[in-house]
Amino acid sequence: MKKTVTKTRLTAYIVLTLILAERAYTGAVDHKRYAGGKAEMKKTLGILIVCALMVLTACSGNNEKTNNGGTSGGNSNGAGTVSEPADPYAPMSETVTIEIGKEAAVDPKLPDGSTIEDNELTRYFGEKLNIKYTNAWQATTSGDAYMQKVGLTLSTGDIPDVMTVDKQQLVQLVNADLIEDLSSTYESFVSPALKAAYDSTDGYSLASATFDGKLMAFPNVSPGADAQNLLWVRQDWLDELGLEAPKTMDDIINVTKAFMDKKGSAGLLGNQVIVNIGTSVFGFDSIFSAYNAYPQLWVEDASGNAAYGSIQPEVKDALAKLRGWVEEGLIDKEFAVKKSEQVNELVVSGKAGIFFGPWWLPFGMLADSVAQDSKAEWVSYLSPLSQEGKMNTHMGSPTTRYLVVKKGFKHPEAVLKTLNMQFDADQLQGEGIVEKDDFNWMNMPFSLLVSNYDDKEKKAKLVQDVIDGNAAADTLQGEAKQIYNSYLKDKENPKKDLAAWSQRHAFLTGALPLGKDDQINRKVGVYYDQTDTMRTKWANLRKLEDETFLKIIMGNEPLDSFDGFVDKWKSQGGDQITEEIAAAAK
């Protein structure tokens, strides 16, 4: 049985020890019974005193921690006792109310009788943790409704206990001293699973929420797979025409030409948004990456300094290639004016068979394509490959949103315990909490989603291992279990159940190749946030970049106008921003 010792009793023990030590010292000197003499006895007494004081200080420190967290769910027996480590899932000893600035889904799809504030998920967390969740206000994800509400709240200075903000708003809150330092809360109460998710970003996420050594928010973590583009190809067309899977840039051109000549395809699809670091559908990101060019990404140059990817000389080479493809008609000249819906329709109607996009496309546009033509077989490839045999790709920021806690809120650990449980519930897709297939993470108390950075490719690999017979099906949980079930459905009834097809195809055809680390060269940015100058000048600089790149690709300006763009970019604020980012990156 583990014993606890009060500070008062421990102090009495130490005082008694010192008294006995003093008497022993005096008696030994007076009767000359200690062979070492008076000097050695003084040394021994000194050691006893120092040790006793160290014990007292250590125990006092432990008691202070216990007092600070005595109602936080650790196994405490009350003030003044030595406590066991805090439990990240323990209920609060007294009911805690958290008022939330809530970002709500436009269509939450809740059961009858449930609301965004009071539903199966909020009730489950509340009962488990002894917490009452109330919404101070709520706004939907539609447009900028939620962020506008946050901005209005910041202007008053009267913020709710908890809300989700972007990086610029986080900086404002820190500067205004309106939010809690969450450093000790995180160290004491983070669950192992949630900590592993933050660790999967190599420290980036927590660092982005840290100011002057203090953790000022709990950041989100987005899957890194979302920012990596794949080459999606109509495999049934490849097979029909006897073509090999495209690997190199030349292969992509040859397949595009064959599809145009033999299948009446529109060619390689493009988008008005040429590059998008976050997620890019129909973008040309992979073409730039093949030239070791990374527009819109802040990279490290040969000297180890921060540099903007869009102004590097390799970008000019990629622009020249794209310009040539437009001249040949391999890229539709109208791509720069077509809306996304128009380009989507080319895919759905069977008039396009090759383009770049993320792993999750089977959940939408490609499912519509299969619905129109059951023979359509879409497969993703790591392409184009570099001379080293790897696909180059940029990586997006793991973190763009932050959960902040109002300064003075008495129980920030209640917030983290909720986040611990939210992470687990999301990993299990609400299993055991909500009815099957009714889980919506936005119906949880906090609108902050935390994933592992390698979440999608890791789950795909788990499922593939089961399919290959290298693991048992009963080892799968949550989303991985759902993927496997969709695979079984698709195996029995190919493309009959499009929802099952979408999930199976997105993960096992889209995300699975992204787990081939030996075939991918991932370029991580040195900086993803905004500096002070960027907040005032970045919009104009991006407009200058987008217009210049489009004009060069379309042939409306000479290729050498890229050099003039670089000079303008630097003089119109780019150099100043680069200096700020260099300082911030260090």
Distance CA(188)–CA(398), nearest Å, equals 24
Q: How far is it, in rounded angstroms, from Cα 204 to Cα 86?
A: 26
Residue that is last in its domain, among 383, 409, 443: 443
Examine the pLDDT at 65 and tell me if it is beyond 70: no
Q: Give the pLDDT score at 438.
A: 87
Higher pLDDT, 17 or 466: 466
Mean pLDDT score, 297-316? 95
| Cα(332)–Cα(284) distance, integer angstroms | 13
Do 275 and 160 have their domain in common?
no
pLDDT at 45 over 50: no
211: pLDDT strictly greater than 70: yes
pLDDT tens track for 526-580 = 999 889 999 899 999 999 999 999 999 999 999 999 999 999 999 999 999 999 9
Query: Per the domain annotation, does 449 fall within a domain?
Result: no
What does the pLDDT average to over 133-155? 94
Same domain? 155 vs 293: no
Q: Which of 63-77, 255-269, 452-466 has the lowest mean pLDDT?
A: 63-77
Residue 83 has pLDDT above 80, yes or no: no
Same domain for 218 and 336, yes or no, is no
Neighbours of 181 (CB within 10 A): 17
Same structural domain, 35 and 48: yes
Same domain, 357 and 240: yes
User: Is residue 380 located within the same domain as residue 404?
Assistant: no
Instruction: Report the pLDDT value the prediction gives residue 435, as an integer from 0 to 100.
Output: 87
CA distances, 87 to each of 76, 462, 513 (Å): 10, 29, 38
Which range is least confidently modeled, 96-100, 117-121, 489-493? 489-493
**Whether 261 and 373 share a structural domain:** yes
86 found inside a domain = no
Final residue belonging to a domain, choices 20, 50, 68: 68
Q: Which tokens sit at 564? A: 């003039």
| Cβ–Cβ < 8 Å for 503, 275 | no
Q: Are residues 165 and 179 in the same domain?
A: yes
Provide the pLDDT for residue 494. Answer: 74
Instruction: Name the domain boundary from 508, 529, 550.
Output: 529
Instruction: Indicate whether 381 belongs to any domain.
Output: yes
Is the residue at 290 inside a domain?
A: yes
Q: In terms of domains, do 273 and 138 share one?
A: no
Q: Which whole number is the average pLDDT over 424-429? A: 96
Which DSSP helix (H) or strand (E) runs through 97?
A: strand 96-104
- Structural domain contains residue 352: yes
Contacting residues for 97 by C-beta, under 8 A, at least 6 apart = 131, 132, 133, 134
Q: pLDDT band for position 85 (50/70/90)?
A: low
Within a domain: residue 509? no
Q: How confident is the model at residue 332 (pLDDT cuts 50, 70, 90)?
A: confident
Q: Which of 390, 381, 350, 388 is nearest to 366 (CA)?
A: 350
CATH number for the domain including 129? 3.40.190.10
Residue 459 lies in a domain: no
CA atoms within 13 A on the CB side of 171: 9
For residue 97, is pLDDT > 60? yes
| Mean pLDDT score, 498-503 | 93
Do 131 and 64 reside in the same domain of the chain? no
* pLDDT > 70? residue 87: yes
- Of 514, 503, 501, the closest CA to residue 455 belongs to 514
Domain that holds residue 418: 96-222+398-443
What is the pLDDT averaged over residues 17-38? 36
Q: How far is CA 389 from CA 286, 382, 392, 511, in A?
A: 14, 10, 10, 19
Q: What SS3 state is found at 354?
A: strand
pTM to 2 decimals? 0.82
In this predicted structure, the answer to whether residue 35 has a pLDDT above a threshold of 90 is no
Q: Is the pLDDT of residue 64 over 70?
A: no
Query: Across all residues in the chain, what is the average pLDDT?
Result: 87
Asked whether residue 101 is domain-assigned, the answer is yes
User: Do 101 and 234 share a domain, yes or no?
Assistant: no
- Nearest of 440, 405, 424, 420 to residue 188 by alpha carbon: 420
Q: What angle do CA 567, 573, 574 make, to 5 degrees?
A: 60
Place of tokens 């504030």: 117
Regarding whether 378 and 350 lie in a shared domain, the answer is: yes
The total number of structural domains in the chain stands at 3
In this prediction, residue 491 carries a pLDDT of 77
Average pLDDT over residues 95-115: 94
Tell me if 402 sits within 8 A of 218, measured CB to CB: yes
